[in-house]
A and B are shown apart, each in its own frame.
Chain A
Amino acid sequence: MRPIRRRFSRNVFNLLSHQFLLRFRNTPRPRFTNASRVRDGLRIHFLRRDSPRALIARILIGGTFADTINFLMTKFFFKTLVAMLLIASREGWAQTPTPAASATASDVAALREQVQALTETVKALQQQVKDQQATLEKANITGNQGPQNEGTPSVASAPLPTPLPGASAQESFPTTDSSVVANAPTAPGAPAVNANGTPTGQFPTTDESVVATPAGAISSATGAPPTETSTRSLTQPITIAGGGKNYMNISFDGMFALAGSSARDLSHIEVGDHDPQQRGFNARNIELAFDGAVDPYFEGFANIVFKLDNDNETEVEVEEAFMQTTNLPFGLQLKGGQFFAAFGRLNPMHPHVWDFADDALVHGRLLGPDGLRGVAAQVSWTLPTPWYSQLILASQNGRGSTGFSFRNPGDNGIFFSRETTDREARGLQDFVWIPRWENSVDLSPTQVVLAGVSGAFGSNETGANARTQIYGGDLFYKWKSAHAEGGFPFVKWQTEMMYRRFEAGRGVDESFPVAETFHDWGLYSQVLWGFRKGWVAGLRGDYLHMQNSRFTDDQDRQSRSRVSANLSWYPTEFSKLRLQYNHDFLESNFFLADREVDSVFLQFEFILGAHGAHKF
């Protein structure tokens, strides 16, 4: 139960705010950590600090309005375009090598001598190892299914069965090689070549040291673990050396950002929870990921995220933890647990695969700073069409801040200025229902298009029967060179738009003076150009329209736009450096004046352990 006194004071406050608090300028945010405290703080701050005269002056000065589209098309659009061109032209020079070797000739000679001496000793040692292994191997092969030798496999070391080093050209090239193919003699009618023995005048056609008998590989059909362990002796050392003995893959990903901004309230400018939240260093996404086969029927995945808040306190978040079926018939798949909703493109992706250092405005504001995720069940069906087409339907609780536009009680029980209910689900209508249909075709061998429509429907906590509907459409295009090395060069273009209809009720016990319906929408569009191996340049435009309200002074309901440009360098697929520039423009509304913000982020990231494959 909430104290009556507080409710009373809120009503008085609401009344006051509608009467007097018209159009004041944004002021630097006081040091509060969560949104509603900040909001309350601001109100008190203003009521206390400003004399009536100052208030009136403020109202008169009132915000000036700049046209967003004009802005987009002129100054910054042009600037970023020029920046992109510069980057492109620089690609040319980057390839010219700089002469290296600064050591003197005598140094080099000395080093070379040392290296030669070392290689000779190594060669001698290798020879010893070879001899030992050859004997070991003979023992193994004759033993047929004998214990697996744990040493390194012997392809590299096994003596080449090529006979006749200096023999006459008449003699034939061997056509077997037991050093590569084990027990290969299944080959019918193969010339009798003694793999390790005397030359028979033929190039060997079998090689037991490289290939084990495939019969052995295939006969053990059932219950074979998912590596080559089922084969006979020869493949065994492979798995010993390289893993494949784990029941799950583990990886660790650390993503950090150094942020500079003209705004002092960066946590309000940046809309995603994993985005930089303060000037200086940020560690907003440090995650542990696990995945693997649960049993023959399911596979499991878990993603635990650690974040440091602005006071360097650690927060833990069970971002995802789910199981899904592996082989249901008819192209069906079931999924259950905590996971990101399959809504659009950005939402189901983890921040570390995003192409920008921060979230898109429309995603962060309509689906929430954490994205739309929750404890849920999902069924998906790949349609038996000649092109790729998939239907997905999920149902989730939609409760709390990860169901942002749905059953979200808000910070301190306030959402869009309403005092919220926080109740158990009354029935199926209180769950969030999330359908999606996605389709993909190959335009050519190098070009792919993927398009989808999504929806999310449920109730929200601002009134007894308040509902929320969100609709989304997304389009993704990718071109990749037919001669791609390491996945480069490529061009990809991604656009998403969303529309939200939010019925904001009158809050608990009709305590808020009015009920409103917000029609909010937005879109972003981004182009990424991987112009050479490891290098990607990106450009993004964002627009968000929040319906103006004379009753809700929520700072997050400010319409705004943004232009971002970035340059990323992936030294390998396991590390990343990214420099990004954002220019934000916040439009004035009934309560807030317009303002512009410039921000620069330097993002850096590393990945340890297994690195899961990327979805398209």
Chain B
Amino acid sequence: MKKILLILSIVLGAFSAQAKINVVATLSDLGSLAREIGGDNVSVTVLAKPTEDPHFVDARPSFVVALRSTDVLIDGGAELELGWLPPLLQNARNAKLDIGKPGRVQASQGVRLMNVPANVTRAAGDVHALGNPHFGVDPIIAKAIAQHIAQSFSAIDPANAAAYDANYKKFEAAINAKLQQWGAALLPFKGQHIAAYHDSWPYFGHRFGLEIDIFLEPKPGIPPSPSHLAEVIAQMKAQKIKAIIVEPYHDRKIAERVASATGAKVVDFAQYPGALPGTDNYIKLIDTLVSRLAAALK
């Protein structure tokens, strides 16, 4: 038995000694950032599909296989993956991914979360005790996550540290330049109110000076009730709201009904690259979001 284990470990060691470092990202926005920073030196696996609800992903056993041999895990943190990541990590038994090790990047580290509830009660719906975890859509926060990822990669693969640093600087410069474009595109609509199916856009709104504060869900995670929708419609008419943001996993029919009752447009948004056509990386995703919203608000 011991011999078999020894041979197996040697074989495994040989496999893992290949050049690329293995990276697992729970969500595709984190995966995209990892690709920007890692370039050809990393191979990235993304667990959740970009089109599905990130809170309710199945902890399927194949994810255990991915986590078992990976060098780096990038997760959103702030209880975003609370429903599915812990049992995966329990089964993966990969000490490199412990919190505090360089192989673990929690994107929420160092991010100041919005909407932290003063009182944690589930009577308020599916609120996050630590604050709203949908922060990836703020490009400035994305830069910070990218920097965090670059530090992790450098610690694990010091030989290529210079490349990671250079990639980070390139990404940062790209975001800085893009921010000028995005800011200019949305500037005319500063201060406008916008409706959304679910409260996943406070960071996006904060960045570009938009008030995304009317929600089709009466409380986070609670399906829209007819009476609540009636109120929303009245409010949207009164405030002349022009856009309703929905994500791929929301019930678009409900948003369409509200839109036809109010004259607003349904805007398909997504937090995760790959969920909308032509959004295979982070910058393209924000590009798409900004242009779609600007078109709808015109």
Residues of A within 8 A of B (CB): 95, 97-101, 108, 152-156, 160, 162, 165, 169, 172-177, 179-182, 184, 186-191, 202-207, 209-218, 220-228, 230-232, 234-235, 237-239, 241-244, 299, 326-333, 382, 384-388, 390, 440-442, 445, 448, 450, 478, 480-487, 533-534, 572, 574, 612-616
Contact = CB atoms under 8 A, between A and B. Distances in A.
B277 interface: no
B122 A572 contact: yes
B18 interface: no
Contacts of B85: 613
B175 A205 contact: yes
B278 interface: no
Given A175-B140, A388-B62, 16 more contacts: A155-B113, A160-B206, A173-B184, A180-B207, A217-B109, A218-B152, A228-B108, A242-B128, A242-B129, A326-B95, A327-B95, A330-B5, A331-B68, A480-B52, A613-B85, A616-B58
Interface in B107-137: 108-118, 120, 122, 125-126, 128-131, 135
B206 A238 contact: no
A611 to B, nearest CB: 8
B143 interface: yes
B91 interface: yes
A388 B110 contact: no
B189 interface: no
Nearest to A101: B230
A152 B122 contact: no
B39 interface: no
A486 B112 contact: no
Nearest to B89: A326
B19 interface: no
B112 A155 contact: yes
B111 A180 contact: yes
Given A180-B141, A487-B53, A165 B190 contact: yes
A203 B230 contact: no
A507 to B, nearest CB: 41
A483 B112 contact: no
B253 interface: yes
Interface in B43-91: 49, 51-53, 55-56, 58-62, 64-65, 68-69, 77-79, 82-87, 90-91
Contact of A100 (B52, B95, B203, B226): B226
Interface residues on chain B, size class: 35 or more
Contact of A177 (B5, B125, B140): B140
A190 B168 CA distance: 13
Interface in B87-113: 87, 90-95, 98-102, 106, 108-113
B222 interface: yes
Nearest to A108: B234
A184 B148 CA distance: 11
A301 B144 CA distance: 36
Nearest to A156: B114
B56 A486 contact: yes
B291 to A, nearest CB: 15
B9 interface: yes
Interface stretch (B24-32, B244-252, B280-288): B244-252
12 contacts: A162-B209, A173-B183, A180-B141, A181-B143, A182-B110, A182-B112, A191-B176, A218-B102, A241-B118, A390-B91, A448-B60, A616-B59
B160 interface: no
Contacts of A203: 179-180, 182-184
A485 B231 CA distance: 23
B221 interface: yes
B179 A224 contact: no
Given A175-B140, A440-B60, A448-B58, A333 B93 contact: yes
B75 to A, nearest CB: 12
Contact of B143 (A205, A225, A445, A450): A205
Contacts of A441: 62
B141 to A, nearest CB: 5
B187 interface: yes
Contacts of A484: 52-53, 56, 249
Interface of B: 5, 8-9, 11-12, 49, 51-53, 55-56, 58-62, 64-65, 68-69, 77-79, 82-87, 90-95, 98-102, 106, 108-118, 120, 122, 125-126, 128-131, 135, 138, 140-141, 143-145, 147-148, 151-152, 155, 169, 172-173, 175-177, 179-184, 187, 190, 202-203, 206-207, 209, 221-223, 225-227, 229-231, 234, 248-251, 253, 257
A324 to B, nearest CB: 8
A387 B257 CA distance: 44
Given A384-B8, A388-B65, A223 B100 contact: yes
Given A174-B179, A214-B147, A235-B110, A242 B116 contact: yes
A235 B111 contact: yes
Contacts of A243: 120, 129-130
B276 to A, nearest CB: 13
B112 A101 contact: no
Nearest to B99: A226
Contact of B151 (A153, A165, A218, A327): A218
A95 B225 CA distance: 10
Contacts of A209: 112
A152 to B, nearest CB: 6
A234 B169 CA distance: 24
B144 A184 contact: yes
A442 B62 contact: yes
A153 B116 contact: yes
Given A440-B61, A482-B51, A613-B84, A210 B140 contact: yes
Residue among A101, A214, A487 with the most chain B CB within 10 A? Answer: A214
Contacts of B52: 480-485
Given A242-B129, A382-B64, A534-B223, A173 B143 contact: no
Contact of A180 (B106, B138, B180, B225): B138
B129 A241 contact: yes
Contacts of B91: 382, 390
A382 B130 CA distance: 33
Contact of A331 (B59, B93, B231): B93
Nearest to A239: B130
A613 B87 contact: yes
A211 B183 contact: no
B22 to A, nearest CB: 13
B187 A153 contact: no
Contact of A211 (B65, B77, B86, B110): B110
B47 to A, nearest CB: 11
A317 to B, nearest CB: 24
Nearest to B130: A242
A172 B187 CA distance: 10
Contacts of A235: 108-112
A327 B112 CA distance: 31
B184 A169 contact: yes
Contact of A156 (B5, B115, B249): B115
